Chains A and B, each alone.
Chain A
Amino acid sequence: MEQVYVKLELIGFRIGRRLAERFAPPNRRLTDTLDIVKFVCKDIWMVMFNRQIDNLKTNHRGIYVLQDNKFKWFLRMSGNNGGAAAARRAQPYIWLPCGIIRGVLDSFGVNTVVIAETLGLPQCTFQIKVVNDA
């Protein structure tokens, strides 16, 4: 499972790098991390899922929480013994988008760790933590 995570995350990371290059706004520069995260919430999410992130929260100290209430890949999922088990089994499906988010941010020079969790399908929360090691 660990290995699957590493691989999916890496694949996502590469997609993110390319998406950022392809869809970065041509006429304005994104310098502020919040701007870049907003770019992920709006443009990138639009490209990937045809919708925008529902809710963005930040503590202004390097943590951003993105909430998608109808995460597209979860919409048609269900489990026979209730929410928690189904959510656990859906876990691998969010590793790829985690990698994508990290990849996009990395293209703009922001080093991050992205984790995701779901409390109940089809809701999904991504947490971005900026790492300052540069």
Chain B
Amino acid sequence: MEKQYKAIGEEAWKNNAEKINAELFIFTYGSLVVQLVKDYENYSAVNKQLDKMGYNIGVRMVDDMMARTSLERCTGFSATAEVIAKVGFKLFLNVIPTVANWSADAKEFSLILDDNPLNDFCELPPKAVADGLRYSNVLCGVIRGALEMMQMQTEVEYVRDVLCGDDVSEIRVKLLRMLDEEVPASDD
């Protein structure tokens, strides 16, 4: 099963994904964060904004992922985690985070990113680290948005970040509940 997701991700990335220059992407993201920091002058507000942007991206991105792959309905939350790592991250960022640290009730897991492309060329000023800026917080929003479209309400949090001195980056995903089919709320 795990092998299969990996193959689907690989295949989709190779054949169906349009690629852009990685550096352009990284610079663009960096400039965006700089602008947010200037506008909000408060790092937790920036984190919140990044998460919100990510949410709006994720809501659309999951559709795109489905269109580019031939995935079937996930059998459980653990399969969902595998798909996020091996298909989602692979397709859009060309990295595969490790799924780890499952909680006992199998409703929480971590994505461990050895290499986060967004971090390239980036160094945070000490004040940003001290005040808890989560530079790649957009990823949390993306995951949350994407899962919400799949009827899963989640809480996603950046718990460790290489840019803040940790040895790896870790994103914690927690399943809160399954949503009923309903008309999606308008995005903001």
> CB < 8 Å: which of A7, A10, A14, A48 contacts B21?
A48
Chain B residues with CB under 8 A of A11: 28, 31-32, 34-35
Given the known inter-chain contacts A7-B39, A18-B27, A19-B27, please indicate yes or no for A47 contacting B34, CB distance below 8 A.
no
Closest A residue to B29 by CB, please name it.
A15
Cβ B39 vs Cβ A15 within 8 A: no
Distance in Å: Cβ of B31 to nearest Cβ of chain A: 4
Answer yes or no: B23 CB below 8 A from chain A CBs: yes
Cβ A14 vs Cβ B31 within 8 A: yes
Given the known inter-chain contacts A47-B21, A48-B21, please indicate yes or no for A15 contacting B27, CB distance below 8 A.
yes
Residues B28-68 near A (CB distance < 8 A):
28, 30-32, 34-35, 39
Alpha-carbon separation in the docked complex, A19 to B27 (Å): 8
Alpha-carbon separation in the docked complex, A7 to B24 (Å): 18
Answer yes or no: A28 CB below 8 A from chain B CBs: no
Distance in Å: Cβ of A97 to nearest Cβ of chain B: 11
Cβ B24 vs Cβ A10 within 8 A: no
> What is the 8 Å Cβ interface bit string for chain A, positions 37-70, against chain B (1 contact, 0 not)?
0000000000110100000000000000000000
> What is the 8 Å Cβ interface bit string for chain A, positions 1-45, against chain B (1 contact, 0 not)?
000000100111011001100100000000000000000000000
- Total cross-chain contacts (CB, 8 A): 34
Of A7, A11, A19, most buried by chain B (CB within 10 Å of CB) is: A11
Alpha-carbon separation in the docked complex, A12 to B28 (Å): 8
Cβ B31 vs Cβ A47 within 8 A: no
Of B21, B27, B28, B34, most buried by chain A (CB within 10 Å of CB) is: B27
Distance in Å: Cβ of A4 to nearest Cβ of chain B: 11
Cβ A7 vs Cβ B30 within 8 A: no
Distance in Å: Cβ of A103 to nearest Cβ of chain B: 9
Alpha-carbon separation in the docked complex, A12 to B39 (Å): 16
Cβ A48 vs Cβ B24 within 8 A: yes
Closest B residue to A19 by CB, please name it.
B27
Chain B residues with CB under 8 A of A12: 31
Chain A residues with CB under 8 A of B34: 11, 14
Cβ A47 vs Cβ B24 within 8 A: yes
Alpha-carbon separation in the docked complex, A47 to B19 (Å): 11
Alpha-carbon separation in the docked complex, A18 to B33 (Å): 14
Closest B residue to A23 by CB, please name it.
B23
Chain A residues with CB under 8 A of B32: 11
Given the known inter-chain contacts A47-B21, A48-B21, please indicate yes or no for A7 contacting B35, CB distance below 8 A.
yes
Given the known inter-chain contacts A7-B35, A7-B39, A10-B35, please indicate yes or no for A18 contacting B21, CB distance below 8 A.
no
A interface, CB within 8 angstroms of B: 7, 10-12, 14-15, 18-19, 22, 47-48, 50
Top 4 closest pairs, chain A to chain B, by CB: A14-B31, A18-B27, A11-B31, A15-B27
20 A-B pairs (CB sep. < 8 Å)? A7-B35, A10-B35, A11-B31, A11-B32, A11-B35, A12-B31, A14-B30, A14-B34, A14-B35, A19-B23, A19-B24, A19-B27, A22-B27, A47-B21, A47-B23, A47-B24, A48-B20, A48-B21, A48-B24, A50-B20
